[in-house]
Amino acid sequence: MIDPWQTALSVLFILILLVMIRLFKGPTAPDRVVALDAINTFTVCAILIFGVAFQETVYVDVAIVYAVLSFVGTLYLAKLVGRDI
């Protein structure tokens, strides 16, 4: 039987690589922000899966903090793109 966590991690890794195409190619700045947001979401999922696979609660705490901080980063990038700052 295949290990579900390992499979999920490999698929998420490939997805992050695919989103990076949009991150580098994206014709406008908001496109790149969208790609970055997607990468952040996938990273949080990957950290959660790491935490369960190794049974470390600390990893899940790191994921919570990463989710909140990446949100702040997205907001600042959006402000920059919208010329509010």
Partner 1 sequence: MDAEIIIFICIAIGLLACTLGVAGILRFPDVYTRLHAETKLTTFGSIFLCLGIIAYVLSQYLAGGDAQYIVLGLHTLLALIALAFTNAIGAHAISRAAYRAGIKPEGVVDRLSEVEQK
> Contact residues for partner 1 (CB under 8 A)?
4, 7-8, 11-12, 15, 18-19, 21-22, 28-31, 33-35, 37-38, 41-42, 44-45, 48-49, 51-52, 55, 57, 60-61, 63-64, 67-68, 70-71, 74-75, 78-79, 81-84
Task: Please report which helix (H) or strand (E) contains residue 43, including its range.
Answer: helix 29-54
Distance of closest approach, residue 16 Cβ to partner 1, in angstroms: 9
Is residue 81 a contact partner of residue 29, using CB atoms and an 8 Å limit? yes
Distance of closest approach, residue 13 Cβ to partner 1, in angstroms: 12
Rounded to whole angstroms, what are the CA distances from 17 to 10, 36, 50, 67, 80?
A: 11, 12, 18, 20, 25
Distance of closest approach, residue 40 Cβ to partner 1, in angstroms: 9
Distance CA 17, CA 6 (A): 17
